[in-house]
Amino acid sequence: MLIVGGGAAGWLTASYLASHLGQERHGGPRITLLESPDIGIIGVGEGTFPTTRNILRTLGIEEAEFMRESQAAFKQGIRFDDWEVAPKNDVHSHYFHPFEAPYIGKDELDLLPYWLIQDPATRPPYAEAVTFQKRIADARLAPKRLFQGHYSGPLNYAYHFDAARFAGVLARRSKALGVHHLQGLLGEVVLDDTGAISHAISPDHGRLEADLYIDCTGFRSELLGKALNVPFRPVSDMLFADRAVVCQVPYPNPNAPLESYTIATAHEAGWTWDIGLANRRGIGYVHSSHHSSEARAEGVLAAYVARSGGKEEVEMRHIKFDAGYRTQHWVKNCVAVGLSAGFLEPLESTGMVLIEAAVNKIAEFFPHSGRIDASAGLFNDLMVKRYEAIITFIKLHYCLSKRDEPFWRDNAAPDSIPERLRMLLDIWQHRPPSRYDFVIDHETFAHFNYQYILYGMNFQTDYRLAGQALPMKDKAEQIFARIHSFGEQAAKDLSAHRATIKAIYDNGFVERAPSPAPALAR
């Protein structure tokens, strides 16, 4: 097979397929990756989802090595600032979307109904009531301890990393797994009489033939979009952001406190991400060109950087994108992965998640005999439904806002909300989200992710009548108290995020726990 394009999409595809389908010398397919040294990667996808841990583990990459080489730090969730209402008199609102699922305990008791019947004036925010992760993140503590080994820990977590360095880690692993690396340009893509790809021509390497061609050429979509002319389905009627202005901001000193969550702050025509790596912050303003000029966007970003402790003068670059996806991702002997298949927007780190989903399905559906496109129809159906489900989840963040700027009013307009989301919001006024509301194979986000967003934005579910019949109110109160107690203990047991990252970089994870090991209750 021939993978065209590097970056995270290309090298993750190469390493994953090489590890799951077998190396060439052991009877697996020959995998070649063609990468142009003259075409840079977009390089703003610096936040991930917890599924990335499973991918890296299966690739045989040690966590400490990956973190050191990628300048990675831990990510425990996302803090949303000013999304519900605009700040007034310097008073800001925020809520937290943790990676940790709500605690259910050995009784497997769903705590949400019991939280809903509590007094809104005195109850803690939902995410703080059902998990202690926000407390740990707010205290700038790491989600794990050094003796807990690779990819495991008491709290669910992902990473912030340098995207270019991460691609380098994957490239080295791919080559160790036998992937052939060609540096050069893609010239022409030649189709055969059936409309499939016959071969590609590189000015540097001549004719390149494969049974399966994987398009990782980014927004250009050289194979699927240009050569095979697969239509692009825009979703700009639902997701309005189509621009980003980005910058890198150094810390004022190398020992500055290190956040372990992405800070997503709403602004007049979009939102900023603020991602803390070990050596710098990556900040960007995602916005709508229909609601903001480039100059105004730069001003918003510069003001945020200055307000959050960075320099007033930072080097900025602009990125244009169209929110949407290809109507088919696998056509004949070509399949697209990453930006060449589609892009929605950076919110909730769905770019990496979609790459992971695609490569997992390519490996699962790979035809070791028979037609190369035997499973293309199923692959397309699953991937398109996954995009549609993510659109629903992303739109949820926007449409619940009570901000009054034109961008936010347009996002709350009913005709901009997907029909399925409108239906669910109507249902959720009378009962909370349930796992039965979703088809698991189509979803990236679980029902509790929806709960965190809904109730973080103070969505109202009228549960007064149903709440009268709840049978385990005393048990629920005990579990709420237990979660608070767990947080107290965890705050004592876990170490500072910055210090933990430095220790991982210097010495990796230790083989065994200190004696006696501090206990972190779950």
- Give the pLDDT of residue 517: 46
Domain that holds residue 262: 243-320
Give the SS3 label for residue 97: strand
Report the number of distinct structural domains present in the chain: 2
Same structural domain, 308 and 284? yes
The residue behind tokens 């770019």 is 351
Same structural domain, 249 and 362? no
Same structural domain, 44 and 187? yes
**pLDDT tens per residue across all 522 residues of the chain:** 999 999 999 999 999 999 999 877 777 899 999 999 877 666 555 899 999 999 999 999 999 999 999 999 999 999 999 999 999 998 999 999 999 999 988 888 999 999 999 999 999 999 999 999 999 999 999 999 999 989 999 999 999 999 999 999 999 999 999 999 999 999 999 999 999 999 999 999 999 999 999 999 999 999 999 999 999 999 999 999 999 999 999 998 989 999 999 999 999 999 999 999 999 999 999 999 999 999 999 999 999 999 998 876 789 999 999 999 999 999 999 999 999 999 999 999 999 999 999 999 999 999 888 899 999 999 999 999 999 999 999 999 999 999 999 999 999 999 999 999 999 999 999 999 999 999 988 999 999 999 999 999 999 999 888 878 899 999 999 999 999 999 999 999 999 999 999 999 999 998 665 554 444 444
The residue behind tokens 């994987």 is 214
- Give the pLDDT of residue 299: 96
For residue 151, tell me if it sits in a domain: no
Residue 398 structure tokens: 């926007």
Distance (Å, whole) CA 126 – CA 124 = 6
For residue 286, tell me if it sits in a domain: yes
- Give the pLDDT of residue 106: 84
- Give the pLDDT of residue 23: 76
Q: Could you say which of 75, 134, 144, 395 is catalytic?
A: 75
CB 74 within 8 A of CB 66: no
CATH number at residue 261: 3.30.9.100
- Give the pLDDT of residue 522: 43
Whether 144 is a known active-site residue: answer no
Residue 69 structure tokens: 């080489």
For residue 65, tell me if it sits in a domain: yes
CB 284 within 8 A of CB 273: yes
Q: E strand or H helix at 183, and its extent?
A: strand 180-183
CB 125 within 8 A of CB 98: no
Of the candidates 348, 345, 390, 388, the residue with the CA atom closest to the CA atom of residue 243: 345
CATH number at residue 201: 3.50.50.60
For residue 436, tell me if it sits in a domain: no
Same structural domain, 190 and 58? yes
- Give the pLDDT of residue 405: 98
- Give the pLDDT of residue 510: 84
Same structural domain, 290 and 163? no
CB 369 within 8 A of CB 65: no
